[in-house]
Each structure stands twice: as structure tokens, then as C-alpha cells.
Amino acid sequence: MTRTVMAMVSSILLAHSLCIADVTLIDDEFDGTELSQDWSVCFNLAQPSSGWDYSVAAGTLAVTDVRGFGSDEWSAVRLRQACRATGDFRLDCWLGWAAGTNGAMQQLRVVLLDSTGSQLAAAGFSDAWVLFPGVAYASVGGEGYQSSGYLPLLGEAWAAIARTDSTVRIYWDSDEVLVGTESAPVDSLELSFWYYSYPGAYFGTERVDRVTVTAPETPVEEATWTRVKMLYRN
């Protein structure tokens, strides 16, 4: 007896593969007219302040004043949000600043903190003296960076902080400006706005248009399995 076997393959085993996608931990474009309730506004941490003036409109958080308690000291308003990343991550922040003269003394920092509130890495704009414009700023693992040239009185920039394994790279307008080592887990994100009270100094304007933090998802192994339908005919 002769048996003819016909097989119809409905699917075929291709391969095992790793599927990895980025998870968005934070993405704030400052839509609407109010700060997201995910942010905690802190006035009484290090370098405390007595208040601030700000607005949220047209996709921008704009800060127009930070008030201190005395003279010859920094005062800071800090916005914090939970942002837990134990391994690799990437932060991107679009920010800007404005001052009419060199007399502005202000800073804008985007900071990643550990569970104790200590700084792991930071980037931003720093105008720390009444006689000169500001510079780009970065810090990680005990290493610091300030741009050698002054920035314009009115400007904007894209700052990024990325960690792979324990290597952290900080970018300012696509240029890598600092590389350091930091392996501690990230616990929170901070946006901080600073003013130095000094005779003749003032706070100009600082803004954040968007801030995002992403991290790789845990790899998931996938496979496509074979299904075979056998048709027999004598």
C-alpha cells in the first residue's frame, strides 16, 4: 500500500529573539496652564527660598523670579518627581534662559538624585557672577564641567544625560562635554531654579520646554513555534 502524505505548514519556527523596548519614566511637555501634580515644589531644602513667580503656558514652564531670605547667598526652588532607574537610562531636557544685562545671577539645573537626595548627575545653565554672562554646566561622579566660552544673554539648549552600565555621558547641544562613572540607582528627578541675592543682581527668566527620562525594558525572550497540519490520503 502506498500512502501519500501532504503537509500544510501554518507557521514555522523562526528563531529565538530578544525583544527590548524603552520605557518612558517621565515625559512632561508642560501642556495646559498648571504644573503636573507629579511634581513636588520644594522651598525649604538646601539653599532655601521664600517663593517664586512662574507660569505654564504654550508648552513651557517659565520662571520669572526666585526670592531669597537674605543677601550674598543662593536661594533655590526645586521641583522633584519620582524617577526610578536602577540601570541604564537617558534624560533629555530642552531649556532656555534670558537676561537683559550681565547683572543677572541665576542657575537652571536638571538633576538626577539617589534615594538620599544626593546628586548623581546634573546639567544646565549657570550664571554665577554679576559681571559676566552664563555658561553651560555639567557634573557627574565628582567631575565637573563649565563651558570655556560665555553663552548669549538670551539662549536655549538641549541637555542630555545618558548612562550605559556605569558610564555616564553628558551632552550640551549634541556635544559630549563630560564623561564620568556613577552606578547608584536613580530615585528622582529634580528641576532647580537658583538666584543669588547680591547688590545690583537680579533674576531674569528661565524656562523648561520639555523633560523626558527613558530606560530600557527588561529583555523578553520570544519564539515562534511550528504548527503543522497533516493531511493523509490513501
Find residue 157's DSSP bridge partners: 95
Domain tally, the chain: 1
Per-residue model confidence as pLDDT tens digits over 23-61: 999 999 999 999 999 999 999 999 999 999 999 999 999
8 A C-beta contact, residue 207 and residue 124:
no
8 A C-beta contact, residue 82 and residue 186:
no
Q: Is residue 230 part of a domain?
A: no
Rounded to an integer, what distance in angstroms lies between the CA atom of residue 59 and that of residue 28?
9
Rounded to an integer, what distance in angstroms lies between the CA atom of residue 80 and that of residue 168?
21
Q: Is residue 1 part of a domain?
A: no
Q: Is residue 5 part of a domain?
A: no
Q: Is residue 11 part of a domain?
A: no
Q: Is residue 228 part of a domain?
A: no
HSE of 222 in the Cβ direction (CA atoms, 13 Å)?
9
Task: Report pLDDT for 218.
Answer: 62
> Residue 99 sits in a domain of what CATH number?
2.60.120.200
Residue 230 binned pLDDT confidence (cut-offs 50, 70, 90) = very low
HSE of 168 in the Cβ direction (CA atoms, 13 Å)?
25
* Residues whose CB is less than 8 angstroms from the CB of residue 23 and which lie 6 or more positions away in sequence, other chains included: 214, 215, 216, 217
Q: Is residue 125 part of a domain?
A: yes
Task: Report pLDDT for 12.
Answer: 36
Long-range CB contacts (within 8 A, 24+) of 151-155: 151/97, 151/125, 153/98, 153/99, 153/100, 153/101, 153/102, 153/104, 154/97, 154/98, 154/99, 155/96, 155/97, 155/98
Per-residue model confidence as pLDDT tens digits over 93-106: 999 999 999 999 99
Q: Is residue 147 part of a domain?
A: yes
Residue 233 has pLDDT above 70, yes or no: no
Per-residue model confidence as pLDDT tens digits over 156-202: 999 999 999 999 999 999 999 999 999 999 999 999 999 999 999 99
Rounded to an integer, what distance in angstroms lies between the CA atom of residue 231 and that of residue 234?
10
Residue 217 has pLDDT above 90, yes or no: no
- The CA-atom distances, in angstroms, between 227 and each of 10, 33, 49, 232 are 6, 55, 67, 16
Q: Is residue 2 part of a domain?
A: no
Residue 234 has pLDDT above 90, yes or no: no
Range of the domain at 31: 21-219
DSSP conformational letter for 202: B
